Structures are given as C-alpha cells and as structure tokens.
C-alpha cells in the first residue's frame, strides 16, 4: 500500500493557503503547497490590509517587511451619496496595529509564500483538477500526477471549480463583483482608506486605497442580487465610479497603470460548507470575505492559522473522523458567525442613501456612533461581542430621531 508522501496538501497559495502551510510546517507537519500560478502572481484586489490582517502577519514575523513595502494610513474615510464626508482614526483592535497598510498583491502574496517555504513547506506549480480518496488518504490530482497526503486544505479563493468537482459546494450563491485599477500622478490624496458611496449603485461602494501621496489602488464593487436581470459588469461599475463627481478632480491628470481588472467575491460564510471528507476549507473557499468592506485577506489568514492549528490537533490525536471535521466547522462558526450576521444586517440597514447621508452629515450623529459603525465594518470582534444586534438598531433609531 502506498503511504502518503505528505501529511497535508494545501491547494491555493494565496494568503489563506500560504498561512496554513506556514503554521503546518512550523508545527512539523510535512506540507506541500500547490498553486496553478507561477509566483510572484497578481490577484485582483484592493490591496488593503486591515488591522486583523496585520495582526496575523505580525504573528508570522512579517510585519516589518510588510511596512517596508507597503503604504500605511491611520484613518478611514466615508463619503456619502450626497457628497458629505468624514474621516475617523482606524479603530484600535485588541492585539492589532491601529492602522491599515496597502501592499499590491503581486508583492504581498509572494512574501507570504516565501514565509511558508522558509518554514519548510514545499511549493509546486500545479493546477488541481480533483481530489480522490484512497486507503485513508487523499490523492490530489495535479497536472496528471497524483500527490498523496493524509489531509487536504482547499484555499482556492473565489474560484469554485474544485469545490464543485469535489461535491463540497452544491449551492453557488450570487457573489459580489468588484474591479480595480492602479493610478499614478493623481491629485494629492488623503492619507486614509476611503470608501465612496457616490457614483456607484447601492449596495456597493467605490474605494481609494493610497499607495503613496499621489498613487492609489482605485476600485468599485457591487453586490449581486438573486435573479437580477442585466446586472452591471464590474468594469461598468468601475467606469461609472471613475467618472463620478468626487473622482473626476483626483483622476483628471492621473496616469492609469495597467488595465481595469474585475473578479468575484464570496461573502456567503454563514451558509457555506467548511469541510469535505479529509478536506478543510480556508479563506474565500469558505465564503470568508467581509460583507461590508469586501476585505478577505484578514479572514483568509486567520482561517489558515485556525485550520493549521486544528490539523495539528488531529495529527496529534491520530483522529481524522468526521467528528473532528465538524469541530473545525464549529471553531470557524464560533469565531466568525456573529461577525458575519452583524455585517450582513449592518449592510442591509446602512447601505442606503438616507442612512449614509445622515452618517456623514456635518451636524450628523455623535462621533461615538460613527465609530461604532466603523468598528462593525472593520470587524472589531470586541465591539461585536459587546453588543447584541438589537442594541445596535435601538441606538441607531434613537440617534436618528434626535
């Protein structure tokens, strides 16, 4: 009988897969990391690293390097549909830096992959077409060759073909879609991650994530509705945003670097599967993208770390039963479910013209309420643990009446 050559095969070397491979290797498990792309590779993204993402990168020993290659800002801005705008400091989350860093994914993902390799993970370029089971291990079908491992991790992002092929994903939820482009020589931009609700269809938003004083990742995204007829393409949403009133003066003399690129986002974690037989799902494969901000690097890194810790426990106990798979699901639910339900409800409640205009009105809500909304949007677990959703609604209703 063929013994598996690896303890774990991780499929997808984005932040989720590379973080999982790093922690698995550090714990002494023999790990192979497979990706269809040659690295360094780009990933269509806003490139924004939230405090939660930075906290995991710090734990991986990468914060200094990230600060050297990225652009750091300490403020978050919101511009309402009517043009009113405000900026607030990025909230201080427990054990996380109180700032955001913007790093192009071409650079970021390669740094994390190098970290995984330094920890001992083997990287192989291969497109995985399927995963079969054989004598208690998995056979990962990659470019005609099989890779044998005891367990697999799927971290293939918003691409669902492998999840469909393995039968793990049966219901494909309508994703959000977003597009971005890089600009240089813009008019001077504020040192903040900025969200715009003017010039984009709601519930959606545009963003400027600065990469310097006059350069930025500029993008726009929109949520798809079930059964929507003639939905706007991400490119159209982006072009409308670029032509919008607040963007025009900033982009007037700017130089676009490279094409506009669009990609889907999966934010369906509350109903998404998180495992299959001898397979754990990580990051966007498990629908782990913030439904308000569209940020998913942070949850990919966190779930990569959690999957690795859980696999280490499974190997230590020699227990690969379904019960153990369900425990992983439970850990993810304990960690993320309330956050997602809060975010989805906050999106329904706040992503409309009157509420956004009211939030940004100069004589609008007290600062603490704006900060509450920002804390929820940025996934501050402490805020979310502190309140029930009903308390948040009561607070909002009370303030709108005052």
Ligand X SMILES: Cc1cc2nc3c(=O)[nH]c(=O)nc-3n(C[C@H](O)[C@H](O)[C@H](O)COP(=O)(O)OP(=O)(O)OC[C@H]3O[C@@H](n4cnc5c(N)ncnc54)[C@H](O)[C@@H]3O)c2cc1C
Instruction: Give contact residues for ligand X (rule: CB under 6 A).
Output: 11-17, 34-37, 43-48, 53, 127-128, 155-157, 159, 162, 178-180, 219, 263, 265, 283-285, 289, 294-298, 300
Q: What separation in angstroms does the CA of 326 have from each of 36, 187, 279, 302, 329?
A: 29, 52, 11, 18, 5
Beta carbon nearer to ligand X, 351 or 389:
351
Radius of gyration of the chain (CA): 21
Beta carbon nearer to ligand X, 46 or 91:
46
Shortest separation between residue 34's beta carbon and ligand X, angstroms: 5
Give the E-state strand segments of 56-96 in sequence order: 71-73, 75-79, 85-89
Residue pointed to by tokens 């696999």: 311
Shortest separation between residue 232's beta carbon and ligand X, angstroms: 14
Beta carbon nearer to ligand X, 35 or 365:
35
Residues 382, 386: Cα–Cα separation, whole Å: 6
Shortest separation between residue 398's beta carbon and ligand X, angstroms: 33
Beta bridge partners of 138: 133, 149
Beta carbon nearer to ligand X, 210 or 283:
283
CB 234, CB 177: distance < 8 Å:
yes
Residues 95, 93: Cα–Cα separation, whole Å: 6
Shortest separation between residue 190's beta carbon and ligand X, angstroms: 17
Tokens describing residue 359: 């939030």
Beta carbon nearer to ligand X, 17 or 365:
17
What strands, in cross-sheet order, belong to the sheet with 100-102? 48-49, 100-102, 71-73
Shortest separation between residue 369's beta carbon and ligand X, angstroms: 25
Shortest separation between residue 367's beta carbon and ligand X, angstroms: 25
Shortest separation between residue 241's beta carbon and ligand X, angstroms: 12
Does the bond joining 173 to the residue before it have cis omega, within 30 degrees of 0? no
Phi and psi of 347, rounded to 5°? -65, -45
Question: DSSP class of residue 121?
Answer: -
Shortest separation between residue 315's beta carbon and ligand X, angstroms: 22
Beta carbon nearer to ligand X, 46 or 204:
46
Q: How many CB atoms lie within 10 A of CB 12?
A: 29
Shortest separation between residue 165's beta carbon and ligand X, angstroms: 9
Phi and psi of 383, rounded to 5°? -65, -45
CB 374, CB 359: distance < 8 Å:
no
CB-based contacts of 283, cutoff 8 Å, min separation 6: 12, 14, 15, 16, 17, 155, 157, 296, 299, 300, 303, 304
Shortest separation between residue 14's beta carbon and ligand X, angstroms: 2
Beta carbon nearer to ligand X, 62 or 179:
179
Tokens describing residue 131: 């995963």
Beta carbon nearer to ligand X, 278 or 293:
293
Beta carbon nearer to ligand X, 15 or 210:
15
Beta carbon nearer to ligand X, 219 or 365:
219
Tokens describing residue 383: 């805020």
Query: What letters, b where the CB count within 10 A reaches 16 and e where it falls short, cover 273-308?
Result: bbbbebbbbbbbbbbbbbbbbbbbbbbbbbbbbbbb
């Amino acid at each position: 009988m063929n013994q598996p050559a690896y303890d774990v095969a991780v499929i997808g070397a984005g932040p989720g897969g590379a973080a999982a491979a790093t922690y698995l290797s550090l714990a002494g498990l023999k790990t192979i990391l497979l990706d269809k792309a040659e690295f360094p590779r780009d990933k269509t993204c806003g490139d924004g690293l939230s405090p939660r993402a930075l906290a995991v990168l710090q734990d991986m020993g990468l914060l200094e390097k990230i600060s050297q290659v990225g652009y750091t800002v300490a403020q978050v801005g919101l511009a309402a549909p009517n043009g009113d705008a405000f900026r607030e400091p990025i909230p201080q989350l427990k054990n996380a830096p109180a700032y955001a860093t913007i790093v192009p994914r071409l650079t970021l993902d390669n740094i994390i992959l190098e970290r995984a390799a330094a920890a001992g993970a083997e990287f192989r370029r291969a497109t995985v077409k399927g995963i079969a089971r054989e004598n208690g291990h998995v056979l990962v079908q990659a470019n005609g060759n099989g890779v044998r491992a005891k367990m697999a991790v799927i971290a293939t992002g918003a691409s669902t073909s492998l999840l469909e092929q393995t039968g793990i994903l049966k219901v494909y939820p309508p994703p959000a879609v977003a597009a971005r482009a890089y600009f240089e020589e813009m008019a001077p931009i504020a040192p903040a991650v900025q969200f715009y609700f003017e010039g984009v269809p709601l519930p959606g938003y545009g963003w400027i994530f600065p990469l310097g004083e006059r350069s930025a990742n500029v993008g726009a995204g929109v949520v798809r509705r079930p059964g929507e007829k003639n939905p706007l393409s991400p490119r159209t949403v982006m072009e409308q945003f670029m032509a919008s009133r607040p963007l025009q003066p900033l982009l007037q003399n700017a130089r676009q670097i490279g094409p506009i690129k669009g990609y889907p986002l999966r934010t369906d974690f509350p109903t998404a599967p998180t495992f299959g037989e001898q397979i754990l799902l990580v990051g966007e494969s498990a629908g782990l993208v913030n439904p308000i901000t569209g940020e998913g690097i942070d949850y990919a890194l966190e779930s990569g770390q959690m999957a690795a810790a859980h696999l280490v426990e499974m190997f230590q106990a020699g227990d690969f039963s379904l019960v153990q798979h369900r425990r992983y699901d439970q850990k993810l639910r304990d960690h993320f479910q309330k956050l997602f339900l809060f975010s989805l409800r906050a999106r329904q409640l706040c992503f409309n013209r009157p509420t956004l205009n009211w939030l940004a009105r100069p004589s609008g809500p007290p600062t603490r309420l704006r900060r509450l909304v920002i804390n929820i949007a940025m996934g501050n677990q402490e805020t979310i643990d502190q309140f029930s959703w009903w308390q948040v609604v009561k607070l909002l209703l009370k303030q709108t009446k005052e």
